[in-house]
Structure 1
Amino acid sequence: MWIPTPLGPLWLEVSPFGVRRLEPVLFLRGEEARGSLARAVRERVEAYFAGERPNFLDLPLDYAGFSPARVAVYERVRRIPYGKTESYGRLARELGLAPRAVGAALRACPFFLLVPAHRVIHADGRLGGFQGQEGLKRWLLAFEGALDLHPDR
């Protein structure tokens, strides 16, 4: 299923275990996601871009094939509140990982918005990478009113 947004379409794939993928795309692909989970994801994404602050935490994610460390990063990042940021370093210390490991996990994250990787920035306030789309990260943080915040507050 594709979900139209102000940033372009997002592609959604679901499995019997949860969301497999939600990511920005240029071209649609695969079979269209159907069912109550797909509808719930679409409704929440639309609510997000309508300026509401939907909670994505109850949407199940399909972590099949992911390492325990990567799952731990995603589950921790899912809990960063709307409009707030945290640093790669703080998350790394909390999870017992290197900051680069946190960055690598987020760079490979297939769960756009559901795992709000855009809310993780450097301790000095630099945004850091976002799969080569730093402008997208800046847009999302500005949309949430988080650009003027320091990480870890």
Structure 2
Amino acid sequence: MYSLLIPTPIGPLYARASTQALQSLELLVLGEGLPERPNPLLHDLAQRVQGYFSGRGETFLQVPLDYGGLEPRRAALYEEVRRIPMGQTRSYAQMGRLCGLSPRAVGAGMRACPFFLVVPAQRVIHADGRLGGFAGREGIKHWLLRFEGALG
């Protein structure tokens, strides 16, 4: 397995990958002492993350994801969420209708997503405009949506 710490304005990201695909990307509180063994895929990801935080509108759609161990409906949900354009949001109910899931199942899927930022879970909100949970990091969700121009 390959791994890399990626610094960002909201905290370090820790990426794990095989030679073929990204296995996880998580936002950390601290990024010290974690093993790093980068590969070309992770170097490319780091450049894309830098592009995102530079405001270049990175979508991460070119980053291959390893959905091994996930049920097909969850992988399909993540692929639909990946297609939400930067600066836009969709409701849990909208995503549920697209994927044949309940809004609650969409929320659970977003909460358990192992691909922070690459699957932009921050773009999935309540139909009434409330942001909803973000695995206890609602401030990060708000920051990302404001950065992307989805909030005034």
User: What is the TM-score of this pair, normalised by structure 1?
Assistant: 0.92
Q: CA deviation at 1:26?
A: 2.5
Corresponding residue for residue 18 of structure 2: 15
**Structure 1, gaps ≥5 residues long:** 149-153
Percent of aligned pairs sharing the same letter: 55
Corresponding residue for residue 151 of structure 1: none
- State the superposition RMSD in angstroms: 1.2
Q: Is residue 20–residue 63 contact of structure 1 (8 Å, CA) maintained in 2?
A: yes
**Structure 2, gaps ≥5 residues long:** none
Count of residues in correspondence between the two structures: 148
Corresponding residue for residue 123 of structure 2: 119
The CA distance in 1 between the partners of 2:26 and 2:143, in whole Å, is 16
Are 1:60 and 2:64 counterparts?
Answer: yes
The CA distance in 1 between the partners of 2:119 and 2:54, in whole Å, is 19
Work out which of the residue numbers 23, 43, 50 in structure 2 matches 1:46. 50
The CA distance in 2 between the partners of 1:33 and 1:117, in whole Å, is 27
Are 1:96 and 2:103 counterparts?
Answer: no
Q: CA deviation at 1:17?
A: 3.2
Are 1:79 and 2:83 counterparts?
Answer: yes
The CA distance in 2 between the partners of 1:118 and 1:83, in whole Å, is 11
Q: Which amino acid aligns with 2:127?
A: A
Q: Deviations over 1:97-131 (max 9, x none)?
A: 11110110110001111000000000100000001
SS in 1 for 2:36: coil
CA 1:89–1:27: 2 relative to 1, 3 Å: same
SS in 2 for 1:23: strand
Structure 1 segments of 4+ aligned residues over 3 angstroms from their partners: 27-31
Q: Is residue 14–residue 33 contact of structure 1 (8 Å, CA) maintained in 2?
A: no
CA 1:100–1:35: 2 relative to 1, 3 Å: same
User: What is the TM-score of this pair, normalised by structure 2?
Assistant: 0.93
